[in-house]
Structure 1
Amino acid sequence: MWRSSNALIGAINFVTFLVSIPILGGGIWLSVRANNTDCLRFLQWPIIIIGVAIMVISLIGFAGACYRLTWLLRVYLFVMLFVILALLCFIVFAYAVTDRGHGQVVMDRAYLEYQLSDYSGWLKDRVSDPGYWVRIRVCIRDSRVCPKLARYVRNSITGLPQPEPAEQFYRRQLSPIESGCCKPPTSCGFTYVNETDWVGQPSPTANDIDCNRWNNPNQQWLCYQCDSCKAGVLASIRHSWRKASVINIVVLVILVIVYVIACAAFRNARRIDNDEPFGESRVSKSRPSRFHL
C-alpha cells in the first residue's frame, strides 16, 4: 500500500512537471511579444517565475516520493499550495488590469482605432508614465513595426512599383500598435500618401490633440507621442494577456485537482506508515520463540 501511494505521488508530480511546461511557454511567448511588439517587458516575469517554480517543486515532490522522505513531501505540498495561490492571484490581477478597453469602429475602415480614454487603472498609468513611455516608444521605433507596413503595387502605365492606393490600405486589418502609432487618427482628416505618410492640415472639426502630435516629416516620430499609440500598446497587451490567462486558468484547474489527489495520497501513505510498526509488533509477539532455555 505504501508503494502504491508512493507511485501515485510520483505520477502526480510527473503530471505537475508537464503542466509547468505550458505556463513557462506562455511566459516565454509574452517575453517574445514584449521584445517585438508589446514593448512592455516586466509583465512576463511573474508567469515565468511561476512556471519555473512549479517545475522545481514537481522535481522535489518526485524525489520525496522515490526516497520516501516525508519531510520533503511536506515541503512539496506546502510550497505547491503557495504557488497555486500565487497563480490564482496573478490571473485575477491580469483580468483586473485588462478589464477595460476596446477598439473603435470607423466608417469605411477595416481597421480599428484606439483612444486612451477607453482605458483606466494601473496599467494605463504605467504605460502613460512619461519616463516609462520613453522606453516603450524607443522599443516600438526600433522594432520597425511602422516601416514594415509598406506595401507596393505595380503601376499599370509605367510598370514601376508604387505605394498601395488609399482604398486598399483602408481595407487592411492593422494591429493596435500599427493603427495607433503609425498613422494619425482618421478624425484628423489628413490625406493618405502611403502607409506612414499623411499630409495636409487637421480638419477644423477635429478635436483630437493627437492631430497636432502627428509628425509627418520625421519618420522616426510619426505618432509615437500620441495617446492613440499608448492606447494601441494597451490594446495589444490586453490581447496578449487574455490569451495567456486562458492557458493559466486551465493549468490552475489541473493543479488544484492534482494537489487534492496528492494530499489524499500523502495522508494515506502516512496512515499506512504509522500502522506498520504496530502491526509488526503484534506479529512478533504472536510468534513463539525458537530458543528456550
Structure 2
Amino acid sequence: MARCSNNLVGILNLLTLLLSIPIIAGGIWLSRQANTECEHFLEKPVIALGVFLFLVSLAGLIGACCRVSWLLWLYLLVMFLLILVLFCFTIFAFVVTNKGAGEAVSGKGYKEYRLGHYSTWLQKRVNNNWPRIQSCLQDSKICRSLLNGTSTPEQQFYSEHLSSLQSGCCKPSVDCKFIYVSPTNWTNPGTTSSNPDCNAWSNDPKILCYSCQACKAGLLDNIKSDWKKVAILNIIMLVFLIVVYSVGCCAFRNNREENAWKRYP
C-alpha cells in the first residue's frame, strides 16, 4: 500500500508534467504569432501557468518516486495553497456573477444590456481597463460578422439572436429609436433620449458602440457566463486536487517512516 501511494502520486505528476510542455509551447507560439495587444496579453499567463505546472509536477514526481521528503513536503504545501485559492476563487466567482442579466425586448430576438445591473466590482474592473478591452473588441471584428457580405432585411435582423457583445457593441440601444438601414448602419431621426449611448453611437465601423455603456454591459454578461462555467470546472478540479493531495499525504508519511527505519535499523 505504501509503495502504491508513492507510485500513484508519481504517475499523476508525470501526466501533469507532460501536459505542461504543450502549454508552455503554446504560450511561446502565441508570443511569436501575436498581431494584436489582446494576443500579447494572453501569452504571459499561458507561459506562467505552464512553468508553474512543470515545476510543481517535477517536485511531486521526484519527491514521490525518489523518496525526497522535503520536496514532497514542498509539493504538498503548494497543493494545499492551490486548493485554498481555487476554493476562494470559486466562491468569489459565484458571488460576483450572481447579479445581472439581459432584458428581453418585445418583438426582438436579442436582449438589451444595462451596465448598472451587474456587480459593482466587475464594473470597476471593466471601466479601469476599458481602453485595452475596447481595442481588443475592435480587433476581434465581432460586428463585421453581422453583415455576412449581404444586406439583412429589417425584420430578419430584429429576429436575430445576437450575442451579448453583438447586442451591446454593434447596434444602438432600443431607447435611441434610430432607424434601421443595416445591422451596423442606423439613422438618427433627431429624437432625444436620456440614454448616453445614443450620443456615443457612430456608423463608423471603427467606432459603432464600442464606447457605449451597453457594450461594457454586454462584455460583463459574457464574463458572467464564462466565470460560471469556470467555477463549475473549478469544483471538479477541487475534487481531483483533494484526492491527489490525500494520496500525496500518504506518500509523505510513507517517506518519513521509511527514512526513520533507515536511520534507526
Same fold, TM exceeding 0.5? Answer: yes
Match of 1:185 among 160, 173, 178: 173
- The Cα shift of 1:116 comes to 0.7
Match of 1:286 in 2: none
After superposition, give the CA deviation of every residue in 1:160-202 in whole Å (9 maximum; x if it has no partner).
Answer: xxx1101111121211111101110112211111010111325
- The Cα shift of 1:239 comes to 1.9
What is the aligned-residue identity percentage? 44
Match of 1:98 in 2: 97
3-state SS in 1 of match to 2:180: strand
Q: Is the 8 A contact 1:149 1:195 kept in 2?
A: yes
Match of 2:76 in 1: 77
Give the AA of the match of 1:250: I
Establish whether residue 254 from structure 1 lines up as the match of residue 240 from structure 2. Answer: yes
- The Cα shift of 1:256 comes to 0.9
Structure whose residues are more often helix by fraction? 2
3-state SS in 2 of match to 1:71: helix
- The Cα shift of 1:60 comes to 1.2
Structure 2: any 5+ residue segments left out of the alignment?
A: none
Cα separation, 2, equivalents of 1:170 and 1:95: 32
Give the AA of the match of 1:251: M
Establish whether residue 175 from structure 1 lines up as the match of residue 146 from structure 2. Answer: no
Give the AA of the match of 1:261: V
Cα separation, 1, equivalents of 2:20 and 2:112: 37
Cα separation, 2, equivalents of 1:185 and 1:225: 13
Q: Which is worse superposed, 5-14 or 134-143?
A: 5-14
Report the structure number with the largest CA radius of gyration.
1
Cα separation, 2, equivalents of 1:251 and 1:263: 18
Task: List structure 1 segments (4+ residues) > 4 angstroms apart after TM superposition.
Answer: 15-21, 39-52
Q: Is the 8 A contact 2:5 2:250 kept in 1?
A: no
Establish whether residue 201 from structure 1 lines up as the match of residue 201 from structure 2. Answer: no
Match of 2:252 in 1: 266
RMSD between aligned residues: 3.3
Match of 2:11 in 1: 11
Cα separation, 2, equivalents of 1:52 and 1:88: 22
Structure 1: any 5+ residue segments left out of the alignment?
A: 154-162, 281-293
Give the AA of the match of 1:104: E
Cα separation, 2, equivalents of 1:117 and 1:270: 56
Q: Matched residue pairs, number?
A: 257
Cα separation, 2, equivalents of 1:51 and 1:239: 25
Q: Is the 8 A contact 1:103 1:112 kept in 2?
A: yes
